[in-house]
Amino acid sequence: MRRLATADPGFAAAFRALVESAREGAVAVEAEVAAILARVRAEGDAAVADLTARFDRHTLPATGWAIAPAEIDAAIASLDPALLAALDLAAARIEAFHRAQMPQGLDWRDGAGVRLGLRWGALDAVGVYVPGGKAAYPSSVLMNAIPARVAGVGRVFMCVPCPGGQRNPLVLAAARRAGVDAIYPVGGAQAIAALAFGTGRIGAVDRIVGPGNAYVAEAKRQVFGRVGIDAVAGPSEVVVLADAANDPALVAIDLLAQAEHDEAAQAILITDDAGFADRVAQAVAAELATLPRRAIAGASWSRQGAIIVLSDWDEAPALVDRLAPEHLELLLPEPEAMFARIRHAGAVFLGRHCPEALGDYVAGPNHVLPTARTARFASGLSVFDFLKRTSFLQAGPAALAAIGPAAVRLAEAEGLDAHAESIRRRLAQA
């Protein structure tokens, strides 16, 4: 774990190294992924079945290309009613928040009499990828599929790897609650290829969303352009701003809540009190000893974690903006004041009683957020990822006469004579 202080002479260089550090080891999968994509595109279902048998150890013709409604019913019936109630609460809150985002169209006439407008429309089909290897994430199902449904997407398909043919009941329940149309027990780059190109049994989509491993991320990168994607996500990250009035154990567990995701995840504490920084570091060590995922969280904290001690809280906004974190916790007495001074963060959690983990599950805003400093220019997943805009305009003779001559002059200046002529001839007839 790195320990930095803004008062140290070498702070600028040390902080720059922290900001620019690469947290993912280079994994050369481009060629292998390209081969998988090409094979699925050429061979369709046969390639998907063969690759699924090879990587996930189950035979699609035997286990089923799509998970049957009766199997989903049985999975739901096997779950604890209290867990289903929690899932339903999360789904309802996510749906309500995203429904409030739905935009209104535009339609007006300007001073020249030209009618101008903007019409929103949903995508026809979306594919949701849900990881299913080391862990299962029903929350990712809700966060990716519900906004698509709220936006009005016509068909929502889901791919989830099922190693050994095993299905996670809560993932199936989440898919049913989110309104997924079909669930395919297919994972990896072959799932992304199937969704991008279509295979016969698996329909092609217009956008693919959802996290995955290095092969999934690279496959999404390579099919982008043929289909839309949400992002090529990196490891999770959190920055916590906390003063000495906080409980060190609570701050420690918030840091570890991100560290336990992955060895490459990053958790950073920023505080103005060196003694409090020491107490949090000690609390992290104590909490690590109790965590089932302590090997992962410990590796993340020791390799990627950092504590920054400020000379003054006025230094914090510029540091946060350079980090542009996926998650930002403001455990401060007046979090709104600090929030107003920060420009770059994927999601911000205000106050001592609002941990980031709340946003992962039940708060309502989406937990699919920009990582690796992309919050400088990107936003979290929303209904806008499943909508597209179509502009329209209408001009009668008077409106054409008002603005047409200027268009003719600009077209002539660009050397596009047909452009100019298409307007000039209509002006002559007006």
DSSP string, 222-279: HHBTTBEES------EEEEEE-TTS-HHHHHHHHHHHHTT-TT-EEEEEES-HHHHHH
φ, ψ (nearest 5 deg) of residue 374: -75, -5
pLDDT value, residue 75:
96
- Cα separation, 326 vs 346, in Å, equals 5
**64 and 165 part of one domain:** yes
**135 and 273 part of one domain:** no
| Structural domain for 191, as ranges | 44-74+121-229
User: pLDDT digits over 100-134, tens only?
Assistant: 999 999 999 999 999 999 999 999 999 999 998 65
- Which of 229, 264, 286 is where one domain is finished? 229
Active site residue 43: no
pLDDT value, residue 294:
96
Q: In what helix (H) or strand (E) does residue 183 lie, and over which residues does it extend? A: strand 182-184
164: left (phi over 0), alpha (psi -120 to 50) or beta: left
Query: Could you tell me if residue 31 is inside a domain?
Result: no
24-48 mean pLDDT? 91
The one catalytic residue in 237, 263, 287, 326 is: 326
Q: In the structure encoding, which two tokens stand for residue 1, read together?
A: 């774990």
> Which one is predicted more confidently, 132 or 252?
252
**15 and 52 part of one domain:** no
User: pLDDT digits over 42-97, tens only?
Assistant: 999 999 999 999 999 999 999 899 999 999 999 999 999 999 999 999 999 999 99
* Percent of the chain topping pLDDT 90: 94
Query: Could you tell me if residue 87 is inside a domain?
Result: no
The band of 25, judged by pLDDT with boundaries at 50, 70 and 90, is: low
Query: Could you tell me if residue 333 is inside a domain?
Result: yes
Query: Could you tell me if residue 132 is inside a domain?
Result: yes
**211 and 342 part of one domain:** no
User: pLDDT digits over 174-221, tens only?
Assistant: 999 999 999 999 999 999 999 999 999 999 999 999 999 889 999 999
pLDDT value, residue 299:
96
**170 and 49 part of one domain:** yes
Q: Helices (H) and strands (E) in the chain — how many of each?
A: 18, 14
Query: Could you tell me if residue 36 is inside a domain?
Result: no
Bridge partners, 389 (sequence order): 120
The band of 27, judged by pLDDT with boundaries at 50, 70 and 90, is: low
- Cα separation, 188 vs 190, in Å, equals 5
**220 and 277 part of one domain:** no
The band of 136, judged by pLDDT with boundaries at 50, 70 and 90, is: confident
Active site residue 261: no
The one catalytic residue in 98, 261, 327, 344 is: 327
**206 and 125 part of one domain:** yes
pLDDT value, residue 34:
97
Q: How many domains does the chain have?
A: 3
Closest alpha carbon to 375 in 328, 325, 339: 325
- Which of 173, 199, 229 is where one domain is finished? 229
pLDDT value, residue 112:
97
Query: Could you tell me if residue 115 is inside a domain?
Result: no
pLDDT value, residue 430:
75
Residue 326 sits in a domain whose CATH number is 3.40.50.1980
pLDDT value, residue 233:
84
**281 and 336 part of one domain:** yes
The band of 267, judged by pLDDT with boundaries at 50, 70 and 90, is: very high
Q: In what helix (H) or strand (E) does residue 172 lie, and over which residues does it extend? A: helix 169-178
> Which one is predicted more confidently, 23 or 408?
408
pLDDT value, residue 23:
76
**241 and 353 part of one domain:** yes
Query: Could you tell me if residue 30 is inside a domain?
Result: no
Lowest-pLDDT range, 20-34, 105-119, 158-172, 346-360? 20-34
| Residue 135 predicted with pLDDT over 80 | no
pLDDT value, residue 26:
54
Cα distances (Å, whole numbers) of residue 171 to 71, 102, 130, 132, 167: 12, 26, 9, 9, 8
User: pLDDT digits over 308-347, tens only?
Assistant: 999 999 999 999 999 999 999 999 999 999 999 999 999 9
pLDDT value, residue 342:
98
- Which of 182, 211, 229 is where one domain is finished? 229
Q: Which residues contact 50 (CB under 8 A, 6 or more apart)?
A: none
**217 and 268 part of one domain:** no
User: pLDDT digits over 372-402, tens only?
Assistant: 999 999 999 999 999 999 999 999 999 999 9
Maximal CA-CA distance, the chain: 83
Q: Share the mean pLDDT of the chain.
A: 96
Query: Could you tell me if residue 383 is inside a domain?
Result: no
**195 and 287 part of one domain:** no
**299 and 369 part of one domain:** yes
CB-CB contact of 408 with 420 (8 Å): yes
Instruction: Indicate if the alpha-carbon torsion angle 361, 366, 372, 373 is positive or negative.
Output: negative
What's this model's pTM, rounded to 2 decimal places?
0.94
